[in-house]
Amino acid sequence: MSANSLQARDAKSVVHGLTNLHLHAKRGATVIQSGEGVWVKDSNDKSYLEAMSGLWCISLGYGNKRLAEVAYRQMQELAYYPLTNHKSHPPVIALAEKLLSIAPSPMARIWFASTGSEANDCAARLSWYYWNAVGKPNKSKFISHKLAYHGNTIASGSLSGVSYAHKRFNLPLPGFFHVDTPHFTKNAHKGETEQDFVARLLANIEHLIEREGPETIAAFFVEPVMGAGGIVVPPNSYYEGLQKLLKKFNILLVCDEVVTAFGRTGNMFGSTTMQLEPDLLICAKALSSAYVPISALMINQRVYEAIERQSGELGLFGLTMTYSGHPVASAVALETLKIYEELDIVGHVRTISPLLLNGLHKLRNHPLVREVRGIGLLAGVELAEGYGVKCAQVAEELGLIVRAIGDTIAFCPPLIIQQKEVTVLLQRFEEALNTLKEN
Ligand code: PMP
C-alpha cells in the first residue's frame, strides 16, 4: 500500500464489517470504483463479474439510469418528509399500495424502515406490541434457526443464529432461541429419511415450545430460503409442519424475505415458493435494487387491527424512525418494482436459473466439491473443508466476486444476468476450483 493510495487512506479511516480488521490494516481494501450491469471495476481498472449482487441486493445491476433519474426528480420535488403526526407524501402511498397488491398472502398495511435489520427489529417490537394488545403480555420469546441471518441490531442480531453476530457482542439477549437448521444433507442422522428428519426437527421445536410454555412464545422468524447461513433450501414438508405447529400454539410467523423477495427464488416472493403464509413479512435489498436504503414490513389484518386499536387506546403509536418511508427511497423502490414487471423478472429468473444451477451441478464431481444446492438465482457450492475463503480469493484474482460462507461459495448474481454472463461466471468459477486443486 503506497502512503496516499485509496487502500492506505481506507485502512486509516474506515471500519469494515465481516472483515478481519487486523488483517485489513495490512492487506488493504479492494476499492470498487464503478459498475455497469453485472460488472464492477476496481481502482486499478480491473473488471469483475459481481456474482453476489454486492450483499445479495443490487438485483437490477449497476448503472441503471432510470433509478438515478427518479431519485434526482424526487429530490427536487420533495427531498424529505416524515410520516409522523398524520403526515404523508405521494411516493410512499403509491409504494405501500403496490406492495399490498403484490404481497404473497393478504396483508393490511406496510411499515417502512431503512434496512433489513431495522425491519426485523420492528417485527420483533410489533410482535410484542400485538401480544400486549390482545391481552397476552407473556408472549415475549422468539424462535429462529441456527445459522439464520436476520440482521445485526440488538434484536435482529439476537434473532440471527450465526456466532459472529453474537460472540463478544453479548448476544443473543435472553428469550431468543435457535433451533436446528433444516439442512437435510448436512444435519440428518445416519440412515434418516427426509421425512424422518423433518419429523425430528418439528418434534424438537414442539418440545422447546412446551418446555418454555406456548403462552411465552411471541413469534417464529424464518428465511424462506436461508441465504447468509449458506444457501439452505428446507425440505418441502418442513414449513408445512412448522406452520401447523405455530397455529396450534398461537405463535406468529414472520418471514424474513430480505434476500428472497422480488424474484430471487423464481417467484415474486420466497413465501410463494416455499408455501408460507406469514403474519409479518420483511423485505429490503432488492426492494430498491439497493440504489437507496429502504425496507418494508408487511403486516396482516389480524395483527394490524390489534395494533391500530391499541394505539388508539394509548393515544399514539410510539414506533418512529426519521427515514421511515423516505420519499426518495420510496420513489426509487416504486420504479424498481415497475422495472421488474416490465422485464418480467420472474420469467427471466426462471429461464436463467437452470443455466446457473445445472452449470454448477456439473461441477459436483470435481474433487473439491462436496455439495451443490440452490433455487432460482441463489446457489451454494460447498467445498472440501478449509477451501471456502481460498476459493473466493482465487476467484477474485480471476475476476469473479463470490462470497465464502464457511466452506460454501455463495452465488446471488443480479437478476438481470444474461446467458453469456452466466457462462463467464461458470468458467471463472471452474478455473478457480482447478487452480486450487493444483496448488
Ligand atoms: N435478513 C436477511 C435474510 C439478510 O440476508 C440480511 C442482510 N444480509 C438482513 C436481514 C439484514 O439486512 P441489513 O443488512 O439491511 O440490515
* pLDDT tens-digit series, residues 103-119: 999 999 999 999 999 99
Task: Compute the average pLDDT of residues 196-201.
Answer: 98
Find the 283 Cα to ligand 1 centroid distance in Å. Answer: 9
**pLDDT, tens digit, for every residue of 280-334?**
999 999 999 999 999 999 999 999 999 999 999 999 999 999 999 999 999 999 9
Task: Compute the average pLDDT of residues 219-230.
Answer: 97
Total-model pTM: 0.98
Q: If we measure between CA atoms, which residue out of 214, 213, 235, 211 comes closest to residue 225? A: 235
The atom number, within ligand 1, closest to the CA of 120 reads: 10
Is the beta carbon of 149 within 6 A of some atom in ligand 1? Answer: yes
Beta strands, E only, 65-189: 109-113, 141-145, 176-179
Q: For ligand 1, atom 5, which residue shows the shortest CA distance?
A: 259
Is the beta carbon of 223 within 6 A of some atom in ligand 1? Answer: yes
Is the beta carbon of 432 within 6 A of some atom in ligand 1? Answer: no
Phi, psi torsion values for 47, nearest 5 degrees? -100, 140
Q: Which amino acid is at 263?
A: G
Is the beta carbon of 157 within 6 A of some atom in ligand 1? Answer: no
Identify whether the C-beta of residue 394 lies closer than 8 Å to the C-beta of residue 435. yes
Q: Whole-angstrom Cα distance, residue 354 to residue 347?
A: 12
The atom number, within ligand 1, closest to the CA of 285 reads: 15
Provide the grid cell at 252: 406468529
Provide the grid cell at 22: 487486523
The pLDDT value given to residue 106? 98
Q: For ligand 1, atom 13, which residue shows the shortest CA distance?
A: 116
Is the beta carbon of 326 within 6 A of some atom in ligand 1? Answer: no
Domains and their CATH numbers in the chain: 31-63+344-438 (3.90.1150.10), 68-343 (3.40.640.10)
CA dihedral 425, 431, 434, 435 (to 10 degrees): -120
Find the 3 Cα to ligand 1 centroid distance in Å. Answer: 35
The pLDDT value given to residue 197? 98
Is the beta carbon of 224 within 6 A of some atom in ligand 1? Answer: no
Q: Which amino acid is at 374?
A: G
Q: Which amino acid is at 142?
A: F
Residue 53 makes CB contacts below 8 A (sequence gap 6+) with 59, 290, 412, 413, 414
Task: Compute the average pLDDT of residues 30-58.
Answer: 98
Is the beta carbon of 279 within 6 A of some atom in ligand 1? Answer: no
pLDDT band at 339 (very low <50, low <70, confident <90, very high): very high
Q: Whole-angstrom Cα distance, residue 85 to residue 320?
A: 10
Is the beta carbon of 117 within 6 A of some atom in ligand 1? Answer: yes
Task: Compute the average pLDDT of residues 91-99.
Answer: 99
Find the 116 Cα to ligand 1 centroid distance in Å. Answer: 5
Identify whether the C-beta of residue 160 lies closer than 8 Å to the C-beta of residue 120. no
